[in-house]
Amino acid sequence: MRTRLDLGLKAIYRDSGPLSATAALRLIGCLLRARDFARCEKELLRYAKTMGPQQDALAEFQTLQAELWLETGREAAARALLTELVEQRPTNRAFRARAWALLAWCEQRAGHTLWADRALAAARESLDPVQDGFTKVFVDAIAQRLGTQTFRGPMPYQNPEDDPRWHDLAYNLTVARLNVVEAVHRRHPGYTVEKLAALMGRGPSWLYAFLAEHREVDWVSRILKS
């Protein structure tokens, strides 16, 4: 397998095709999954020198670099890189989700449980429209590594009479999504699910599935019947 990787990487670096950068990074990722960290770092350096700043593969390179740094105990460098990456909001949602998941891992290692939970929630939010099976498994694996995070008691700015669900991240994300769809529906009451989805930049199948989970809400039921 190592011989095949060597031959593959050599061939890729001689190729100037548009997919050569991604192909090289996928092979380097195989080294990381095999925990051959020294070789992985060597190949990432060679990639940076040979390929240069390939913008279409930059997010993939940075997430791979950050994951290597995390695996080899360089949390501070990984955290700085991932923070910068999520602020840039990569257009590829798969790598946006991976970056948030890795940042959650960084935050947990630093003892910041709340921020780890929030970063993991952001990873899952970015993952919703993604069809990349590897990324879904990647995020799930990090979530399992972090364990189930729960808040201990009320938040410092929560009033005793407040609904305790308000600090449930999954509940809050669901309510926020419903509020967004409802706001768009109020502005365009005659729109079907397909038109609402197109206006919101989401897939109609996703919106149908999401609304079906909340069909007991009056306005949702009206949309689904239209």
**pLDDT tens across 93-144, in order?**
888 889 999 999 888 888 888 788 888 888 888 877 666 778 888 888 888 8
Question: Are 143 and 175 members of one domain?
Answer: no
Res 152: pLDDT: 40
Domain assignment of residue 69, yes or no: no
- 169 and 145, same domain (yes or no): no
Q: Give the domain-ending residue among 95, 122, 149.
A: 149
Distance CA 45, CA 60 (A): 14
d(CA 126, CA 121): 9
Whether residues 145 and 168 fall in one domain: no
The yes-or-no verdict on residue 2 having pLDDT over 70 is no
Distance CA 38, CA 85 (A): 24
pLDDT at residue 165, rounded to an integer: 56
Pick from 24-28, 99-103, 161-165, 173-177: least confident: 161-165
> In this predicted structure, what is the pLDDT of residue 99?
92
140 and 169 within one domain = no
Per the document, the length of the chain is 226
Dihedral (CA of 137, 197, 122, 61) sign = positive
116 in the same domain as 181: no
Q: How far is CA 115 from the centre of its chain?
A: 15
Within a domain: residue 55?
no
Backbone phi and psi for residue 211, each to the nearest 5 degrees, phi listed first: -65, -35
Same-domain status, 112 and 84: yes
In a domain, 159, yes or no: no
Percent of the chain with pLDDT over 90: 12
Please indicate, yes or no, if residue 113 is contained in any of the structural domains: yes
**7 is a domain residue:** no
In a domain, 36, yes or no: no
**Are 173 and 206 members of one domain?**
yes
Residue 155 lies in a domain: no
Structure confidence at residue 54 (pLDDT): 58
Q: How many CB atoms lie within 10 A of CB 33?
A: 9
The domain of 218 spans 164-225
Q: How many domains does the chain have?
A: 2
